[in-house]
Structures are given as C-alpha cells and as structure tokens.
Structure 1
Amino acid sequence: MKIAMLNPPHRFGQDTTQWITVPPQGYGGIQWVVATLIDGLLHAGCEILLVGAPGSISRPGLTISDATTFDATLAAIREFGPDVVHDHTNGELLPADPPWPAVRTHHLNGVPEHLANGIYLSRAQRQAAGSADAPIIRLPVNPDRYTYRASKDRFLLFLGRVSVHKGARQAAAFAQAAGLPLKLAGPAWEPDYLHGILTDYPDTAAYVGEVGGTGRTELLALANALLVLSQPFGGPFGGEWIEPGATVVAEAAVSGTPVIATDNGCLAEIAPHVGVALPPEEAPDPELATKILAGLPAPAHLRATAIERWGHHVIAAKYLEVYRRAAAGNTWS
C-alpha cells in the first residue's frame, strides 16, 4: 500500500532551525511510535510518505517531505497519491473530511477533535473518548532498535517527562523505599517540580537530563526496573490524566527490563504482562518495595513477551488490516 504518514511537526527544543525527527533526537513519544510503525510497514512492502518531520533519514520505500503546515501537507499528499492517510497529529495537518481514505491514531487524553476512523492505544483511552467499537492497536516496539541486557546495574529508572502526571516524585519515593538510586531522564519543563524532587530525595534521585540515541537505550537495558508511576492528576491539559499508551513499557521490556507501574489508564492493561501495576495511591514501605522487586519477571521472558505482543511486525499487520478497511470505504467512530 501507499501510505501518507502525518507526524506532529514540533521544533527540537529551543532550536528553531531543527524539527523533531522520526525517530526523535531526544524526547518524542509520538515520533518513536511513527518510526517503529514505519519499520514494520516498510518490511511489509509498503511505500510511505512521511510528513511533519523534516530532517529525518530517508531509506528505500520512505520519502521525507519538507511540509510542516496544513496547506503544504495537503499539497504533498496530493502529489504522493496515497491509498490511505494515517494521521498522528490530532487533526493538525488533516481536515475533518479529507479527500483520501484516512485513519487517525489518538495519542492524547479525552475526546479527539475528529472522531471519524479513530484508532486508540488502549481500552481505557477509547472509553474516555466515548467510543465503543473503534480499533485498539497497541504501541509498537522494534527490538533491533534496542539493547538487550540480562545483567543489570544497581539503579532504578524514570524515563519520560518529569511532571506531576508522570509520577516522577512517586518514582523517587519508591526508589528511596527500595534503597536504590533513581536516575531521572527526560525533559524537565517544570523546573520547580524537579527541584522539589532533588531537594527532598538528595541521596536517591539524580537528574541525567533529556537522553537520546545509545545513551537512552543503555539506560533502558541496564536499569533494575523502569518506574512508570503515572498519576490521575496534574496532566498538561487539566482534568483527569488517563495514561493513553505508554511506549516506554514495551521499550523497557524488549530491553530485558521489568516495569513497575501504576494501574492508571493503559498501564493496567499492559504492565502486568511485563511487571506489576499498583494503585496510584500506593506508597510502598521498604518491605513492600523489596518484595515487588524480587517478584519481577526475568529479562529473557520480558523480551519474548514484548516481541510477541508489541513487536513492530505484529503491530504493522494490525494497522494494515485497518488501512484496508478504510481504503475499501468503511467508516467507524
């Protein structure tokens, strides 16, 4: 199939000369999803136009567009002539009623701006959006992009936006209870929040900044466990935060690293396969933290589970089924 893939066009940090690429230079959850899905679709023989990520690396079957605006995107898609358009931008680059068959993966909380042919990342996200029968397709992971380590270093890892709704403070509290150092990796756009964690947990938490490339994959592979203690409050858009997809869960698992999560949103559905899901209000004491760490799955099991459930070939095949439905004129909401 010919697929036009629309990525959210965002600048790389404060650098107005660069766009976040696919895959991203640093933090970029949606960009990792798009990159990994493209891996699977190219392997399946698809031809892909990537819009919204200038500076990304092209390869056989993949064309990179310079378009980043609504009008330029429509012109690029028109010239490409796709069988289907796959929108990851929540309508930023695609009209409500596009002239091509289209599907839309919802990466956020709440109700999407455009409901037609939506795809959701979890049952929790779909329910919050008010849909009953739209497809649910989990976030993909490509094992070839990650480092696998059976032996681990003595630290816990938080990898993501250092924010209230992502549970960075709860990660520090868990690490302190477990008697292990915590590495906080990711953008810290709320400096007072980060400062509070480092002040209150000076002997436990260390901020290593926003990481990418081999630094990121090494952290994922070497951690004793990844802490994904998402909270139902403090989200960037107000209201209740329901964790939609959590790419980092599959990334850790395919690296051989278990996951300690809350049961917020999608985490209740995916984390128990590769670790444990706790109530958000759970504040473990040292005895419970030690017990949780001792009961986590082995690295080889984690990697096999991640590939079987969320491997890029598996997820690409699910998307191809949905693309064919859309190309045949089927609609859903």
Structure 2
Amino acid sequence: MLNPPHRYGQDTTQWITVPPQGYGGIQWVAATLIDGLLDAGCEILLVGAPGSAPRPGLTVSGATTFDATRVALREFGPDVVHDHTNGQMLPAEPDWPAVRTHHLNGAPEHRANIVYLSRAQCRAAGSTGAPIIRLPVNPDRYTYRETKADFLLFLGRVSAHKGARQAAAFAQAASLPLRLAGPAWELDYLHGILTDYPSTAEYIGEVGGPCRTDLLADAQALLVLSQPFGGPLGGEWIEPGATVVAEAAVSGTPVIATDNGCLAEIAPQVGTALPAELTPTPEQAAKVLAGLPAPKHLRATAVERWGHHVITAKYLEVYRRAASGGTWV
C-alpha cells in the first residue's frame, strides 16, 4: 500500500500517518482499506507513512522516496502493489503487478490499471473501461449519534474549490452557526469568509481524533458545497471521491452537497445535491434542512454501499485480476 509521503503541517520531524493526525483524505482511504484487507487475511506493507502504528499483518516501512520504496518492495515481495500516490512512488512499468487509485482531477499520468472513484472522474479522465470503486468507510472508527447539536459543519480544506464560502452563505440563510474545520492554506480566502460572515462562521482549525469524529456526529448537517473552479492545480474542479460524505453518513449526519463531480452520484443517497451556482434564500435553506434523511437510514446506507468490507471485496477482485496478468486502461 503506497501512501503519498507528506510532512505533518510545519513539523519537519513528523510525517502524516495512516490514519492521519488531522487532515488527510488519501490517508483515511488507505487506513480504511487496510482495516478491510487485514480482516480478509492479507499481509500488508505500508509505505510512505512513517510513524503509523503497526499491527498484526501490517508492516510499516520508513521509506519516503522513490528509490527507498523500490528497495522496500523488493524486500517484501508483494503479490500486488496498490498505489495511492498518483505515480509519485511507483514507476510507469513496475516490477510487480500494480493497481493505481486515481485521487485527482484529469487524466492520470500512468493510465495502466487505474481505479476511479466516480463516474464523473472516470469520464473526465477519458476512460471507458476502468473499474469504478467508491471510497470506503469503517463504521467502527466513527461515533454515531441521533441527537444533533445546533450547528452546521464544513470539514475539509478551506479553499474556493471546496466551497467553504458557499457553506457560510448557506449557514447564514439557515440562521445556523457554521464550524469550519480543516487546514486553511489560503489565508486571504479564510479571512474573507470570517469578515463577511462574522456572526455565522467560526474557524476551529485542523482537527483529528475524537474532536473530528464528535464534530461529524454532532452536526445537524455536513456542507460539501464543492465548486467547479479554484482547484489546486487550476482549471475546472470535478470532485473526484469525497470521503467525508460517507464519514458523515455513517455518523448519522446528513449531507448537503452540490452536484459537482462525484457528489451528484453519492450525496442524494444520504442527503441532497444542489446546483453549484445556487445561493439559497432562507426559505430554500429551511426546506433543504427539513427534507434530510434520518440518522438510522444514513448509517445503514453508508455501511451497505461504502462499508470497508464491501469496498475491500471489490478491491480484492481487482487485485486478483492484476496479479493474474490482467491489464486495463
């Protein structure tokens, strides 16, 4: 399991672990798949996340470079390599059967044996025959609550393409406070939200551990108002997978999303998907909140559709296909 190696915040002595200390979408995906694969009896080498906790069946490598990764893989001798680094840690023609999950927008640099997260992402990459496997969630890692607190939640990178400003606008229309939780690397953008919505938006920073799971369980709704502009690499942003949708649902919290990318496919099952350009009136916001599903339905739907054992079984099929010499684009 190849994880993209990144330092944890400004601390040059730590790497983002699997699962992550705070923000880390790919790290949560890797952690959840590892949970399912260990339950299925696999032996796993985790590369690219030094400091992660080993456990029976899971070996944690200290490798964080391309060359060190190749050495670690040779020593481990995998049946198949699962790359989450978008080609950063795995050559175009690896020495082992490989599967690559694409976590970005656009076409992947290396197209062989790609797995996409949504139909929207797959279409945007120009692929017609590659597998589509949703992002997993392990319900045992989350807190489930039916009684909710009096706030809305934004959980993710506080950036234009993630729709943090639109979340504040929705919360103001709904007359509910908004808690913004996540890294804010574009400080001017964050300052603009707090200036324009001073009585609505509260920035609580990057969160992890029980603080994160409590927020997901306590919120009246999670706002995932992704926008088709302002992406980190420029150009149109098409939301590829949105781990946080399943995380909220398994916590019993409904999702209010836009129809951008994967959100049009998954959000209506656990909430609603609104047009990205919509700026709701108070009446519209109240109607949306009143029509959201109940917590028990949300949790059952999340486990049935995106539970880690369900998604792991899909990946095991793909692993076997790659290990037997199968290829696809």
Task: Judge same fold: TM > 0.5, yes or no.
Answer: yes
Look up the match of 1:76. Answer: 72
Distance 1:94 1:208 in 2: 36
Q: Which amino acid aligns with 2:113?
A: N
Secondary structure, in 3 states, of the residue corresponding to 1:176? helix
Secondary structure, in 3 states, of the residue corresponding to 2:149? coil
Distance 2:31 2:58 in 1: 11
CA drift of 1:310 comes to 0.2
Q: What are the Cα deviations for residues 214-262 of structure 1, in whole angstroms up to 9, with x where unaligned?
A: 0000000000000000000000000100000000000000000000000
Look up the match of 1:297. Answer: 293
Distance 2:122 2:235 in 1: 16
1:47-58 counterparts in 2 under 5 A? Answer: 47-58=43-54
Distance 1:213 1:113 in 2: 34
Q: What are the Cα deviations for residues 246-279 of structure 1, in whole angstroms up to 9, with x where unaligned?
A: 0000000000000000000000000000000011
Secondary structure, in 3 states, of the residue corresponding to 1:332? coil
* Unaligned runs of at least 5 residues, structure 1: none
Which of 20, 45, 55 matches 1:24? 20
Is 1:33 matched with 2:29? Answer: yes
Look up the match of 2:166. Answer: 170
CA drift of 1:18 comes to 0.3
CA drift of 1:31 comes to 0.1
Which of 108, 117, 120 matches 1:121? 117
CA drift of 1:183 comes to 0.2
Is 1:42 matched with 2:38? Answer: yes
Which of 147, 151, 158 matches 1:151? 147
CA drift of 1:29 comes to 0.3
Look up the match of 1:8. Answer: 4
Distance 2:69 2:169 in 1: 45
Distance 2:124 2:187 in 1: 30
CA drift of 1:63 comes to 0.2
Look up the match of 2:200. Answer: 204
Secondary structure, in 3 states, of the residue corresponding to 1:276? strand
Secondary structure, in 3 states, of the residue corresponding to 1:184? strand
Distance 1:181 1:264 in 2: 24
Distance 2:162 2:89 in 1: 27
Secondary structure, in 3 states, of the residue corresponding to 2:128? coil
Distance 1:58 1:129 in 2: 35
CA drift of 1:57 comes to 0.1
Q: What are the Cα deviations for residues 16-41 of structure 1, in whole angstroms up to 9, with x where unaligned?
A: 10000000000000000000000000
Instruction: Give the alignment's TM-score, normalised by structure 1.
Output: 0.99
Is 1:277 matched with 2:269? Answer: no
Distance 2:95 2:62 in 1: 21
CA drift of 1:66 comes to 0.3
C-alpha root-mean-square deviation of aligned residues, in Å? 0.3
Distance 1:73 1:297 in 2: 45
CA drift of 1:316 comes to 0.3
Which of 92, 109, 122 matches 1:96? 92
Aligned length: 329
Is 1:229 matched with 2:225? Answer: yes
Distance 1:326 1:80 in 2: 18
1:101-116 counterparts in 2 under 5 A? Answer: 101-116=97-112
CA drift of 1:7 comes to 0.2
Which of 257, 261, 286 matches 1:261? 257
Secondary structure, in 3 states, of the residue corresponding to 1:6? coil
* Unaligned runs of at least 5 residues, structure 2: none
CA drift of 1:211 comes to 0.3
The share of aligned pairs that are identical, in percent, is: 84
CA drift of 1:126 comes to 0.6
Distance 2:192 2:184 in 1: 12
Q: Which amino acid aligns with 1:152?
A: K
CA drift of 1:135 comes to 0.3
